[in-house]
Amino acid sequence: MTSRAFQSLSLADFGIAPEQGFLPADPCESLPDCPTLNYLSHELPKLLSARQVRRFINEEPSFLPSIPSSWGEDDYRTVMRILSFAGHAYVWETPGQPAAKLPPQLARPWHEIGQKLGRPPVLSYASYVLDNWRRLDNTKPIQLDNIVLLQNFLGGLDEEWFVVVHIQIEQQAGPGLDGLIQAINGAANGKDDEVLLGLHALASAQTAMRDTLLRMKERCDPYVYYTRVRPYIHGWKNSPSLPNGLIYDNVEAYAQQPQQFRGETGAQSSIVPCLDAGLGIHHAPDPLTVYLQEMREYMPPRHRALIQALESQTDRNGRALLSGYVHERKQSHPKLWAAYCACVDLLAQFREIHIGYADSYINRQNQTSTTNPTAVGTGGTPFMTYLQKHLDETRLAIAS
């Protein structure tokens, strides 16, 4: 036994299916017996185009007077998606003039549903990506030519493609996560063949994820993304245009005090943190590591728990279990080392592609408003320097 008191890991323990990754089963398109919310969801792109979101919401006395006792988690995720898009549309509807206060008919149910899901009342990756898709043909798989969004801000090809690329990557990660856990369980039990099989499955999934990410520019133009997609996913923490945050009117827990929450960002995806943890990639403390730790608060709790479980798998020397196991066998089992190096290298490639996109889609764009800054990401942090540092640290894992 390589680790102390090791308990075998399983994706099922965290409500995750290998075929879907962090995606849930096909999300609900609408809410039962909630015609006004369903209308708001359907009409949001038109209302936002006409800059009528605030008027519509302000004139509605109540969107969700009470949460039906018959609702389950699928319904909670659906209403969270609708309220999150509506909330961001309300705040950012007028360029350069964000709303500093949400009306109670929106703020209160948003907060209440967030409490049930274990997430703050702000648009997070879970609502923007994970719970925001449907298949065109239910008999066909989750893939780029068969998935579309359930909810948009303005709509259009660039916004649609930007998100469905993320959805496809999330699905492709599923078999890789299963392979990573197979490799860790194999290492814990001294089974080299299981470790090798798991690493090969992970590398295959990572290759598919990389190839999908490389397709981003096919249908999502950097200028269109920056000017028509990005403005609505910012949050209200470290926001130049909302320095004090946002007031959620009549939410008792907030006592009329402005709240500061990060905006939607791919840093709220659980894939890369799981790969870092499982492969034993260490990042020296910096502002980005602090920020990434904070991003876990925006993830679904079970996804957060998987990252923590992977981080807890260490050997007797306190090293990441899988990394330590493979390093010990670098000479005696070179195929294991080669398979591990391939996975780390693919993670580095993924990070490198992402840095290139962060540069072209954000950093090089011409800032015209403080509501859409180029110096910080949608989560509100400077990014270019630290993204490069994390890429360098990934490569270091196989440098010796």
Euclidean distance between the first and the last CA atom of the chain, given in angstroms as a whole number: 25
Helix (H, G, I), strand (E, B) or coil at 101: strand
**What is the pLDDT averaged over residues 330-349?**
97
Q: Is residue 4 part of a domain?
A: no
Condensed to tens digits (0 to 9), the pLDDT of residues 190-223 reads 999 999 999 999 999 999 999 999 999 999 999 9
**Using an 8 Å Cβ cutoff, are 266 and 167 in contact?**
no
Q: Is residue 171 part of a domain?
A: yes
* Global pTM value: 0.96
Q: What average pLDDT is seen over the chain?
A: 95
User: How do the residues of the chain divide into helix, strand and coil, expressed in percent and rounded to 5?
Assistant: 55, 5, 40
Structure-token pair, residue 291: 């920020």
pLDDT confidence bin for 287, thresholds 50/70/90: confident
The number of distinct structural domains making up the chain is 1
Condensed to tens digits (0 to 9), the pLDDT of residues 89-133 reads 999 999 999 999 999 999 999 999 999 999 999 999 999 999 999
Residue for token digits 């943190």? 273
Angstrom distance (rounded) from CA 106 to CA 123: 13
Q: What whole-number percentage of the chain has pLDDT above 90?
A: 89
Q: CA neighbours within 13 Å on the CB side: how many for 132?
A: 29
* CATH value at residue 226: 1.20.58.480
Given a cut of 60, whether residue 224 has pLDDT beyond it is: yes
Angstrom distance (rounded) from CA 57 to CA 183: 51
pLDDT confidence bin for 1, thresholds 50/70/90: very low
DSSP 190: T
Q: Is residue 5 part of a domain?
A: no
Residue for token digits 């659980």? 270
Given a cut of 90, whether residue 29 has pLDDT beyond it is: yes
**pLDDT for position 311:** 97
Give the DSSP per-residue string, 163-174. HHHHHHHHHHHH
Q: Is residue 7 part of a domain?
A: no
In sign, the C-alpha dihedral spanning 345, 346, 351, 353 is positive
**Using an 8 Å Cβ cutoff, are 146 and 140 in contact?**
yes
Q: Pick the residue with more confidence: 5 or 120?
A: 120
Q: Is residue 227 part of a domain?
A: yes
Neighbours of 287 (CB within 10 A): 12
What residues make up the domain containing 175? Answer: 19-396
pLDDT confidence bin for 378, thresholds 50/70/90: confident
Q: Is residue 12 part of a domain?
A: no
pLDDT confidence bin for 5, thresholds 50/70/90: low
Given a cut of 80, whether residue 347 has pLDDT beyond it is: yes
Q: Is residue 1 part of a domain?
A: no
Q: Is residue 181 part of a domain?
A: yes
**pLDDT for position 392:** 95
Condensed to tens digits (0 to 9), the pLDDT of residues 252-267 reads 999 999 999 999 999 9
pLDDT confidence bin for 3, thresholds 50/70/90: very low
Angstrom distance (rounded) from CA 269 to CA 257: 29
Angstrom distance (rounded) from CA 217 to CA 280: 31
**pLDDT for position 7:** 80
Condensed to tens digits (0 to 9), the pLDDT of residues 160-201 reads 999 999 999 999 999 999 999 999 999 999 999 999 999 999
